[in-house]
């Protein structure tokens, strides 16, 4: 158990380090371009950390309470609400074409640094959720729940990028969100992007997650060489 905690702690520190690398890229880019116009990448990366924190809290809660308790259900709802922020970073790359900066290739590295960190945090968060589900559900049922979660996440990416709603708007403007989402779903010919974006990201994220799931499961079976 102590060895497991130590390994998890080191992995957590590695995630912090890679996030700091992204922040370092931003600082260098800001100094070279004398502009902080890409500051939103730091904010989006911060939001990408929230699902992992919520998942760790949910793990701890499930050791003491059943999943149907109000504490566990609240954490689960918050987790699902914030999870799209991890993969949403992938869509930020569209901003590369909007500004004229000193070094395009450096900016590609900068954007990919934030995107990869966001995806790693998202995939890890889903993996931890999956582990908890496998303890309580059958293999097929747990995959159905994970798939449903990733589909909701993919749809939320559309809501965030195209409709420009944020996670906290679920509480602040629920009626407006419901109206716009209903409008998109009821008139697919007027809003074809709702299906193209949702399905595209669902296929992408799910394929990445399946690879990560089996890779991490295989890694857990390997004996350490040290």
Predicted confidence band at 102 (pLDDT cuts at 50, 70, 90)? confident
The H-assigned helical ranges of the chain are 2-33, 40-62, 70-82, 84-88, 104-134, 139-161, 169-172, 174-186, 193-221
pLDDT in tens, 146-202: 999 999 999 999 998 888 778 777 777 887 878 888 888 777 777 788 999 999 999
pTM: 0.89
The total number of structural domains in the chain stands at 1
Virtual torsion, Cα 175, 67, 69, 63, nearest 10 deg: -130
Compute and round to an integer the Cα radius of gyration of the chain: 19
Section 50-58 average pLDDT: 97
Domain that holds residue 181: 2-221
CA separation for the pair 188, 196 (Å, rounded): 10
Residue 226 lies in a domain: no
Q: DSSP for 2-39, please give it.
A: HHHHHHHHHHHHHHHHHHHHHHHHHHHHHHHHT--TTT
pLDDT at 224 over 70: no
Backbone angles phi, psi at 125, to 5 degrees: -60, -45
84 in any annotated domain: yes
Q: Which positions ≥6 away from 175 have C-beta within 8 Å?
A: none
């Amino acid at each position: 158990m102590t060895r497991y905690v130590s390994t998890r702690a080191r992995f957590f520190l590695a995630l912090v380090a890679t996030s700091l690398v992204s922040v370092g890229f931003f600082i260098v880019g800001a100094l070279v371009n004398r502009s902080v116009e890409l500051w939103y990448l730091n904010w989006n990366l911060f939001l990408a950390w929230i699902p992992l924190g919520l998942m760790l809290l949910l793990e701890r809660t499930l050791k003491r309470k059943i999943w149907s308790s109000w504490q566990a259900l609240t954490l689960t709802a918050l987790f699902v609400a914030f999870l799209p922020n991890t993969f949403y970073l992938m869509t930020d790359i569209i901003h590369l074409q909007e500004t004229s900066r000193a070094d395009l290739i450096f900016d590609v590295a900068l954007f990919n640094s934030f995107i990869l960190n966001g995806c790693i945090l998202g995939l890890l968060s889903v993996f931890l959720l999956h582990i908890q589900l496998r303890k309580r559900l059958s293999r097929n049922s747990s995959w159905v729940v994970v798939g449903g979660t990733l589909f909701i996440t993919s749809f939320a990416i559309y809501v965030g990028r195209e409709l420009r709603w944020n996670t906290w708007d679920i509480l602040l403007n629920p009626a407006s969100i419901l109206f716009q989402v209903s409008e998109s779903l009821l008139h697919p010919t007027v809003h074809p992007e709702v299906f193209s974006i949702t399905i595209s990201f669902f296929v992408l994220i799910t394929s990445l997650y399946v690879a990560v799931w089996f890779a991490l499961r295989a890694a857990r079976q390997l004996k350490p060489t040290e």
